[in-house]
Structure 1
């Protein structure tokens, strides 16, 4: 009833008539609304869902607390069944006001196809409860050759990437001209098929789509920012430029701005995307310490912590029972054993077989640290949270799998961190020693390649609002050192000194660069030319020009000498 009233006042779209009118079927405790295309597959009695499950005709594609997605193979065709659940008071009230997600997706799919926008082909929707919120189902036809757009992009040539960018720009322009805005337009909600020599996009996850008048420039930019959040991290500037040019070319309901104005709008999309991503990343800093779809809280006796959900439960419980057991096992190789920490390799069972991970124990050296752990994140917890946050920001680091703490007097004491092992890697100090032993020409090629890749990585780190107060060479791994050492890529590790979540000013940038520079001061394999090449990559001369580089050079040199002098006074070695 409420949904009908909202349809009359225009707050909820009316059910469209494209594709034929759905036929109501009540069978087996389910209330179905079936289109003529669905009747061809199900017959007059509607979808026999329980019989499909009982006969093993369904394959689970996705499973979480909100929904389950099945693929059902029938003699006359294959379909997708999305089972939507009401998993809390918020979801219950939401269905009271707007109807079930399945009904919304059904209506929106028909409306999109009526507008000439490619969307999944709806067959039926249904629910167990006819007049109250509850479990509902949305059935669509399976597109055998369709793949998620994010997977389609893997391994594409630059030419194919340009073609995909152009086609996506055309599709978004058509949507916005039709008054359609997708509030979650990430690539996972786009399916791609290749037809006639070009990609064809199909929209999925349609329940929140909004219909209205053609979007204004302001509304269009708001929606493009949401789309660009994913692509700004993974697509090149050239790809994004191709998308923008196609989008502007195919918009027909807005006055075409002059080239200067369009360039300003494109920069505005990029700037607002950076701000939107920063807010998103910062909002997730507390997510890693809560129970949700990706992470779980753990506790057993005096040991508590967090783990990713894809770790086997038996393995997690074994570590909870005795986190120190792996350090006593002679089968585990000891990588480090110092006053502050011990690091060993540890075999971890996974769905694809056993893999080797890195297990680190953080010792508590004084009662002061024990008290500090009560008032702030411990070193283990910072490594856990910042590791996941750096991965969210698209920065390379080892993925944390589990973090544990023993507790004494109500305070976290010894900490334990399990993280994936970076494949085929050695730390930057060791890798540089290997490079030094190479012939002169080969050594220069390797160091030049590393100078460029390190400069780009640290620039990207700072642009994504991450500072690293302990950016020394041992805290950087070079991954993929075989067979070509020059092709190795840098990976950040030991993240206790990371400070994410705020803009990195010039002073902190210079200090970060100086800390890394101090690791190679007077190193025979690193020349001033290599340092300049590193600075050139960091400042992105090709994009921003070389103006002001000498001020950066002098600032880094002063901070490097200050760091060297400080370590000499304290008697600490300069790593």
Structure 2
């Protein structure tokens, strides 16, 4: 389930000179940058990363309580538990995810720091600390009431322009010739790097389907990033079975929409990037499977999943 609607971006060929020969660990945030602070603005107490973002002071409490009544705010996703609003401000574009706290149990969990809003904040700050590409968290609050069920709000910076991986891939597949070959190669590299980095940093995105990864353009190259991380598993080395389980989720969609050659290209890049990150994090470990064994395990997992769907 995707965290936010993204603006469309057209697949393009990577600019020459983009260096992917080494992991992008220099983007990791320091512990000092991730030290949480409390900030009160118009009666709402926010948890944020210092310094407190200006939009907390510029946007009144009533606007946060009534996003539907604000010009330039657009609801991009809605279900029984959550709403996601795209907010355009002078400081940039942000996404506000509203979580409904239906009853006293949900509120008690929020007080104890065990709720979807806090879980996603924790996952995003973990990714930021490790240098894993994901939306940057801005602020959260559990103190938003006003005329209805109590709500928690998580604000993140927008990754724009970008497109969900499934849409990006289908558009890329329609191109031809050199543009398609170079675009596919670039996308396989950035996707493999993102997932290998996460695995070796002890992060497993447990809902890693193609709509929960977005692709954006940075410095002339495509870059993949995770979204909707609230259910990620954190802080533990991934055993081989977890690696297979996680890759199999993504493989379900690409099995139908990508050629065997493209899927094998991605797997080779993933194994290569695992080696690059093997000495860089305390949770990194070698994969005890060969390329052939990994490919066979992913096929077995896909077949098991298909049989489960058939039984339903």
Instruction: Report the TM-score when normalising by structure 2.
Output: 0.74
- Structure-to-structure mapping, 1:102-251, within 5 angstroms: 233-234=25-26
Residues 481, 314 of structure 1: CA spacing in aligned structure 2 closer, same or farther, 3 A cutoff? closer
State the match for 2:294 in structure 1.
552
Q: Structure 2: 5+ residue runs without aligned partners?
A: 1-17, 276-285
Residues 407, 474 of structure 1: CA spacing in aligned structure 2 closer, same or farther, 3 A cutoff? same
Q: Distance in 1 between matches of 2:166 and 2:306?
A: 17
Residues 324, 559 of structure 1: CA spacing in aligned structure 2 closer, same or farther, 3 A cutoff? farther
Q: Distance in 1 between matches of 2:37 and 2:236?
A: 27
**Structure 1 counterpart of 2:256, from 515, 522, 530:** 522
SS in 2 for 1:306: strand
**Structure 2 counterpart of 1:491, from 225, 234, 237:** 225
Q: Distance in 2 between matches of 1:466 and 1:434?
A: 29
Residue 559 of structure 1, CA deviation: 2.1
SS in 1 for 2:153: strand
SS in 1 for 2:214: strand
8 Å Cα contact 1:515-1:563 kept in structure 2: no
Post-superposition Cα deviations, 1:117-170, rounded to whole Å, max 9, x if no partner, equal xxxxxxxxxxxxxxxxxxxxxxxxxxxxxxxxxxxxxxxx99xxxxxxxxxxxx
8 Å Cα contact 1:333-1:345 kept in structure 2: yes
Residue 337 of structure 1, CA deviation: 2.4
Residues 330, 509 of structure 1: CA spacing in aligned structure 2 closer, same or farther, 3 A cutoff? same
Residue 348 of structure 1, CA deviation: 3.9
- Structure-to-structure mapping, 1:130-529, within 5 angstroms: 233-234=25-26, 294-298=35-39, 304-312=45-53, 315-316=56-57, 318=59, 320=61, 323-349=64-90, 354-364=91-101, 369=106, 372-373=109-110, 377-406=114-143, 414-439=151-176, 441-480=178-217, 487-523=221-257, 526-529=258-261
Q: Distance in 2 between matches of 1:520 and 1:367?
A: 42
Q: Distance in 2 between matches of 1:542 and 1:500?
A: 17
Q: Distance in 1 between matches of 2:103 and 2:80?
A: 12
Post-superposition Cα deviations, 1:287-316, rounded to whole Å, max 9, x if no partner, equal 96xxxxx53224689954402233356734
Q: Distance in 1 between matches of 2:239 and 2:274?
A: 22
Residues 542, 392 of structure 1: CA spacing in aligned structure 2 closer, same or farther, 3 A cutoff? closer
SS in 2 for 1:333: strand
Alpha carbon RMSD of aligned pairs, Å? 3.9
8 Å Cα contact 1:424-1:481 kept in structure 2: no
Post-superposition Cα deviations, 1:98-119, rounded to whole Å, max 9, x if no partner, equal xxxxxxxxxxxxxxxxxxxxxx
Residue 536 of structure 1, CA deviation: 0.7
Q: Distance in 1 between matches of 2:263 and 2:54?
A: 48
8 Å Cα contact 2:86-2:96 kept in structure 1: yes
Q: Distance in 1 between matches of 2:69 and 2:185?
A: 43
Q: Distance in 2 between matches of 1:443 and 1:506?
A: 32
Q: Distance in 2 between matches of 1:449 and 1:232?
A: 15
Residues 324, 520 of structure 1: CA spacing in aligned structure 2 closer, same or farther, 3 A cutoff? farther
Residue 459 of structure 1, CA deviation: 1.1
Q: Distance in 1 between matches of 2:186 and 2:302?
A: 23
8 Å Cα contact 1:297-1:307 kept in structure 2: yes
Residues 319, 471 of structure 1: CA spacing in aligned structure 2 closer, same or farther, 3 A cutoff? farther
Q: Distance in 2 between matches of 1:374 and 1:546?
A: 42
State the match for 2:10 in structure 1.
none
Residue 425 of structure 1, CA deviation: 1.0
Residue 328 of structure 1, CA deviation: 2.7
Instruction: Report the TM-score when normalising by structure 1.
Output: 0.43
Q: Distance in 1 between matches of 2:138 and 2:274?
A: 38
State the match for 1:534 in structure 2.
266
SS in 1 for 2:256: coil
Q: Distance in 2 between matches of 1:362 and 1:568?
A: 33
Residues 454, 302 of structure 1: CA spacing in aligned structure 2 closer, same or farther, 3 A cutoff? same
Q: Distance in 2 between matches of 1:569 and 1:336?
A: 31
Q: Structure 1: 5+ residue runs without aligned partners?
A: 1-156, 159-230, 236-276, 289-293, 571-575
